[in-house]
Structure 1
Amino acid sequence: MSDDDLNPDETGFDRILQFTLTDRNARGRIVRLGPVLEDILEAHDYPPVARQLLSEALVVTALMGALLKGDGSQLTMQAQADQGAISLLVCDYRDGELRGYLQHDADELVELGATPSLEQLFGAGHLAITFDLATTGQRYQGIVPLEGASLTEAVEQYFAQSEQVPTILRTAVRPGHGGSIAGGLLIQHLAEGEEGRERLHVRMDHPEWEHVAVLAGSTREDELVDPELGLEALVWRLFHEENEVRVEKGAWLCRGCRCSVVHFEEVLARFPKEDRQDMRDEHGIIRVDCAFCSREFEIED
């Protein structure tokens, strides 16, 4: 089913929907990835478990990236392991561009079966989330252990520990021969309901937040990945008893890859001439692989 099959006022695939519960001092983001997700996954021959994990990570990255303000700002999420079937997972979001990649041991993934735990996938790993703000040039990074039943739970712990912002995060992935679908919901309690004001309380047990958390926590996985259910309809289903729910369509999403010959020439120019000489093949060409898009670039130095 395509976006055209939905009510024209309903948001379907590959676009962020922003919403605010004005009386509850809460803001949220919701997204459902479709064609963009499949474009990213198809860049590599990932086994099913790896596709599932990367799909979840891309949904989380899109939701967090949609919190950024100002063109050029970037959100990067990286999970790295000391041991485990997954050695590296990295995703980023900038101006609606979404990309992701993971390194894995295919044989180990097969041995883990269809539903491995986060610990089995990564071992004693850690999760790093970085915000690069274009408007101020500042960078903020939080690092937390990769703990919990899923990557989604680990990110919730990041918000609780590093950001100290009450946050509910729900994700779901539906693989399929016609293309994978992944959806997610993120909702947060704002300090006194206003961004930019002094944070007067950070309470997970605040009555307003407890009410919102119960409603948001009732989101079902099948609702997040149902292509016949528009995102506005899902927000209404969850919060229709509230006095006011403001919704606004956010960024369209696309598969991002910022690789180009010019980019790699600029990067290579920072290396000493001797190092660049060692990188050349017998034809004098430096070959650079892009992990995100699985393309090879030939650089004549």
Structure 2
Amino acid sequence: MTQTQFDGADDIVLPFAVEALDVRGRVVRLGDAVDTLVNRHGYPDAVARVVGEAAALTALLGSALKFDGRFQLQTKTDGAVEMIVVDYDAPDRLRAFARFDADKVAATGADSGALLGQGHLAMTIDQGPSTSRYQGIVPLEGQGLEEAAHQYFRQSEQIPTRVRLAVAEELTGGETRAYRAGGLMVQFLPTSPERQRQAELPPGDIPDGHPAHAAGAASEDDAWVEARSLVDTVEDHELIDPALSSERLLFRLFHERGVRVFEGQGIREACRCSRERVMDVLTRFDADERREMVADDGRVQVTCEFCSRKYAFDPSEIEAKVEG
């Protein structure tokens, strides 16, 4: 097992492979990045935890981008947490925000599936203006983000995938607490023709009284069963424990088979908003909408939902930009 320059570090995604099992995956550890994301908005603990899970999942998926693009995870539901948006801008920038009903959150509790409720989860890959966006959507029906991710890969990618997510607070000294998040994703990506074989077609009509075979169960690869079973043994504390590095966790899981660790990718909390970007958005509204935006102080005030940065514009600035 090789070491990397990020050994034991936070805010890092670490790719790995277990070649004996034909699986590839990534481990993410978020420290300051996720703590900044949730504390900037003063989220209640239950909301902070589900946002942390969404951030960890987004980092796992977005870090696979091989280009300067963007991966976005978005939920929209009827639950106490009405919306979550997490952006991953390749190669390393992460930002997020959530909209929620505080009274509903207090009444719902900490279960992430219950907090999300009914709606959908969308995952979007944007490679830039010269290419088409790709989007996969799965329904949210009271399940958490882990199960939603499994459903996404079953339906959209058809790649056997296992995901684990965890969020917790760490006591960092005295009464100071900081959020941490972690995630692990393993995918079965066989290269041999034998392991790439698809499940056989159903053998025909089943006589009355005989149980049907579960789809694909008879031909499920032993290597994937083993890898999936090992991932299922991971406990939440192992994903966020600052004393347990990603490398050590992977060694615990796969040392008997041999695990290969690749170069890690650092992650930072960073918003891409700027005065120029906000101005560009404002110019896209029509004249009546722009007039309605003017506040009592005679200026147009805009607050970024991601980073809470405030921008103020004189209406004449906006009109000059429109006319120019």
The two structures share one fold, judged by TM-score above 0.5: yes
Residue 121 of structure 2 corresponds to which residue in structure 1?
Answer: 127
1:140 aligns with 134
2:275 to 239, 261, 276: 261
The size of the alignment, in residue pairs, is: 287
For 1:91, what is the secondary structure of its paired residue? strand
- Residues 97-116 of structure 1: pairs in structure 2 closer than 5 A: 97-113=93-109, 115-116=110-111
- Residue 171, structure 1, aligned to residue 165, structure 2: yes
C-alpha deviation, 1:141, in angstroms: 0.8
Q: How many Å apart are 1:193 and its aligned residue?
A: 7.0
> Secondary structure at the residue paired with 1:98?
strand
Alignment of 1:127-276 (within 5 A): 127-134=121-128, 137-147=131-141, 149-176=143-170, 177-192=176-191, 201=198, 205-242=220-257, 244-276=258-290
Amino acid paired to 2:283: A
Amino acid in the other structure paired with 1:116: D
Match of residue 30 from structure 1: 27
- Counterpart of 1:93 in structure 2: which amino acid? Y
State the partner residue of 1:85.
Answer: 80
Gap change, CA 1:200 and 1:100, over 3 Å in 2: farther
TM-score (norm 2): 0.82
CA RMSD of aligned residues (A): 2.3
Given that 2:299 and 2:312 are in contact with CA atoms closer than 8 Å, whether structure 1 keeps it comes out as: yes
Deviation at 1:200, TM superposition (A): 6.0
- Give the SS at the match of 2:177: coil
One-letter amino acid matched to 2:230: L
> Relative to 1, partners in 2 of residues 1:286 and 1:191: Cα closer, same or farther, differing over 3 Å?
farther
Deviations 1:126-162, CA, capped at 9 Å, x for gaps = 1111112349723111111113642211111111111
1:117, distance to aligned residue in structure 2 (A): 5.3
Distance 2:112 2:32 in 1: 27
Identity score, percent: 38
1:43 pairs, out of 35, 40, 43, with: 40
CA distance in 2, matches of 1:272, 1:209: 55
Q: Return the index of the structure with the highest Cα Rg.
A: 2
Deviation digits for residues 248-299 of structure 1, max 9, x if unmatched?
Answer: 1322111121111111111112222332222122443211111111121112
Question: TM-score normalised to the size of structure 1?
Answer: 0.88
Residues 116 and 142 in structure 2, CA contact (< 8 A), matched pair in contact too: no
Residue 73 (1) aligns with residue 72 (2): no
1:30-85 per-position Cα deviation (integer Å, ceiling 9, x unaligned): 01111111111111121111011111111111101112111x2211111101x221
Taking the aligned partners of 1:158 and 1:237, their CA distance within structure 2 comes to 28
**3-state SS, counterpart of residue 234 of structure 2:** coil
Which residue number corresponds to residue 11 of structure 1?
A: 8
**Distance change >3 Å, CA 134–CA 232, structure 1 → 2:** farther
CA contact (8 A) 1:13 1:33 kept: yes
Q: Does 1:293 align with 2:307?
A: yes
Amino acid at match of 1:162: S
Instruction: Tell me if structure 2 keeps the 8 A contact 1:43–1:292.
Output: no
Contact 1:78 1:128 in 2 (8 A): yes
Cα distance in 1 for residues equivalent to 2:122 and 2:232? 25
What is the distance in 1 between the residues matched to 2:192 and 2:125? 22
Residue 134 and residue 237 in structure 1: after superposition, are their counterparts in 2 closer, same or farther (change >3 A)? Answer: farther
Q: How far apart in 2 are the matches of 1:18 and 1:137?
A: 27
Q: Does structure 2 retain, via aligned residues, the 8 Å contact 1:49–1:109?
A: yes
Shift of 1:192: 2.2
Q: Any conservation in 1 of the 2:160–2:188 contact (CA below 8 Å)?
A: yes
Distance 2:6 2:272 in 1: 32
Which amino acid is 1:172 matched to? Answer: A
Stretches of structure 1 lacking an aligned partner (at least 5 in a row): 1-6
| CA contact 2:94–2:270 (8 Å) conserved in 1 | yes
- Once residues 160 and 51 of structure 1 are traced to their aligned partners in structure 2, the CA distance between those partners, rounded to angstroms, is 28
| Aligned-partner Cα distance in 1 for 2:21–2:95 | 33
Q: Report what 1:4 is aligned to.
A: none
1:211, CA displacement in angstroms?
A: 1.6
What stretches of structure 1 move > 6 A for 4+ residues in a row?
none
When residues 276 and 193 of structure 1 are mapped into structure 2, their CA distance, relative to the original with a 3 A threshold, is farther
| SS of structure 2 residue aligned to 1:229 | coil
The residue identity in structure 1 corresponding to 2:279 is: E
